[in-house]
Amino acid sequence: MPASPQVETIFNREVLEEKIKRFQQDGKDKMQVIADFDRTLTKAEPAALLSLIEKSGLLGADYSREADELFKEYYAYELDQEWTEERSKKMREWQDKHTALFIKYGLTKEILDQITESSPIQFRAGTDEMIKKLEAANVPLVIVSGAPRYLIESHLKKAGLWHPNIHIIANDYEFDEHGKFTGICEPVVHVANKDEILNDGYHRYQEIESRTNVLILGDNPDDVNMIGRHLWSNIISVGFLNPSSKKNRNCYTKVFDAVITNDGSMKLPNGIIDQVIGQNKTPQ
């Protein structure tokens, strides 16, 4: 069996510790955590939530073939780190075409439930600990994702991690009275518009806007923009540089305050949270 790749944490300790001090001074009541879901709260492998639908085979071979064709056509735009109007347009086109495939091949709520039940998704080591301590301290966890909200919530419930302090800003699927998928509610969330969604598309925004110290967790440099246009007081950003993104290492280290490599754990974010909520553990 090959050895596991060594996990490396890259950060400027002095800068990070100064930011943590500002979080501590304001206390936990001014803190929130904003996180991506796929490959951030979950491990990089074996799959992202949306890809589980294709991998399940429950919509048939023709759906899988057409979904793969869309992936090959649009994925290069998702990887493009330049914020351009064209990129956002392409991401929306991809969403709309994939939505049409769901309707064409008969996606249902029952199929999504089957996928959740048999899912190989694994939460990143330490994610359960983080979610539980945030719930105990009444610190909001805001999940911003282009994945289906239904699957995110289902997986959290399956793992016993669904709590009232969790806010999910993701794609809400619409179903008819028979449980058949009919479309996605606006606003549609994708990788290139997360900066707009928190402010403009979330009905419970007023519950979190006063918590102006934000810990951001993401696996894509774009995820630092999940905070939107609000004037936050202090921001700490932690990025997960998964093995498939190694070529973008320099981009990650420029954007995030700390970068965790090789599918590493939530040890650093948990250490930061502990210091803010009063458990005084220094992140390693």
Number of H helices, E strands in the chain: 10, 9
| Measured CA angle at 194 (ends 191, 195), to 5 deg | 135
> Which residue did the predictor score with more confidence, 11 or 257?
257
For 217, the enclosing helix (H) or strand (E) is strand 213-218
Residue 69 pLDDT: 96
State the average pLDDT for the chain.
Answer: 87
Is residue 120 scored above 90 in pLDDT? no
CB contact at 8 A, 278 and 28: yes
Chain centre distance of CA 83: 19
Give the residue ranges of DSSP H helices in 12-160: 13-26, 49-56, 61-79, 85-105, 109-117, 127-136, 149-158
Q: Domains of the chain (ranges plus CATH)?
A: 9-45+123-277 (3.40.50.1000), 49-117 (1.10.150.340)
Cα dihedral value 102, 105, 109, 113, nearest 10: -100
User: What is the pLDDT averaged over residues 90-107?
Assistant: 95
pLDDT at 21 over 60: yes
Of 173 and 201, the one with more pLDDT: 173
**Angle, alpha carbons 272-274-276 (nearest 5°):** 75
Mean pLDDT for 30-36 is 95
DSSP secondary structure letter of residue 232: -
Q: Which is higher by pLDDT, 162 or 242? A: 162
The helix-helix angle for 149-158 and 49-56 (nearest 10°) equals: 90
Q: Which of 10-14, 55-59, 201-205 has the highest mean pLDDT?
A: 55-59
pLDDT of residue 208: 81
Confidence of residue 181 (pLDDT cuts 50, 70, 90): very high
Checking if the pLDDT of 201 tops 70, the result is: no
Which of these, 195, 186, 213, 245, lies nearest to 44 by C-alpha position? 245
| Number of neighbouring beta carbons within 10 Å of residue 211 | 20
Q: What is the pLDDT of residue 279?
A: 61
